[in-house]
Amino acid sequence: MAFLSGLSAFPITPSDRGGHVDTAALKRLVTRLCTAGVDSIGLLGSTGTYMYLSREERRRALSVAIDETGASIPVVVGVGALRTDEAVRLAQDAKASGAAAGLLAAVSYAPLTEDEVFEHFSTVARESGLPIVIYDNPGTTHFRFTANLVERLAHVPGIVAIKNPTEKPEEISSHLAQQRSMTPKGFPIGYSGDWSAAEAMICGADTWYSVLAGILPDVCLRMVRAAQNGDVEEARRLDATLSPIWDLFKQFSSLRTVYTIADLLGVSKAEPPRPILPLPALAKEKVAHCLTLLEQDLA
């Protein structure tokens, strides 16, 4: 799965208060990513608020993205759901629409066991025929993939890659080495957690699954290319330039922050789906100031 490398950009999914996707705004977001030349687009991830959208609206969003990208940029689409049969149908929808892969999290209400997660993932991969990326996101699912479970799933036909969280940058190197030792050769290992992504890529991770790249792809792409080319100094310099953004992510959450950035840039006026509230005025001013400083630094 060569397309699961480099920068995977995760945009928001603009919608109204009734949960109807703003296709014009989504098209503008996807166009930005295509123009920048990101390696893949992560549609309907957590930043894309997939769990807040109906099956019909997910299909509408995916149709917009596929139409806009054509065959130029692969689309990896979130197919997570509480029920296995529902996740299968979402993955089948994604395959029929032309998605390159599905991003599957261990979404639940009742806490899940490892065997339950294994069966859930195996069934979705088998019955949908869509390549599946393991989405380990304990911050939202409250389920953490153990090394043993990752090893089991990585050998299931149709499960093709993993998106890991990055909680402790100093542990990325050892974590990556451990996963490489237990997954098949060529199994792409990537990381989210934007403020640790530079170190992950420097350590040799295949992919940065990025929230910020969904709205500011150019600087994120520069950082990835620097890391891929072995220019550690430049990758870290760009990461340091983005540190005010990382601070905003930590203070307000990446989701609320990127909705505000999209608004400030005039790309989308949508608010996050309720009950998530948009940032208050003072916080929005802080994001605007940060954007101004970032523009000056990058210039």
Tens digit of each residue's pLDDT (9 = 90 or more) over 41-80: 999 999 999 999 999 999 999 999 999 998 789 999 999 9
Query: For position 1, what pLDDT does the model report?
Result: 53
Mean pLDDT per 10-residue section of the chain, whose length is 299 residues: 87 97 98 97 98 98 95 95 98 97 97 98 98 96 96 98 91 96 97 96 98 98 97 97 96 97 97 97 96 88
Tokens 């990326």, residue?
133
Catalytic residues: 135, 163
Tokens encoding 108: 């639940």
What ranges do the domains of the chain cover?
A: 6-224
Known binding residue 207? Answer is: no
Instruction: Give dist(CA 297, CA 299) in Å, integer.
Output: 5
Alpha helices in the chain (DSSP H): 23-36, 55-69, 84-97, 114-128, 138-141, 147-154, 172-182, 197-202, 217-228, 232-241, 243-252, 254-264, 281-298
Q: Is the pTM of this model over 0.85?
A: yes
List pLDDT tens digits, range 9-29: 999 999 999 999 999 999 999
Q: Give DSSP secondary structure letters for 38-59.
A: -SEEEETSTTTTGGGS-HHHHH
Domain 6-224 in CATH: superfamily? Aldolase class I (3.20.20.70)
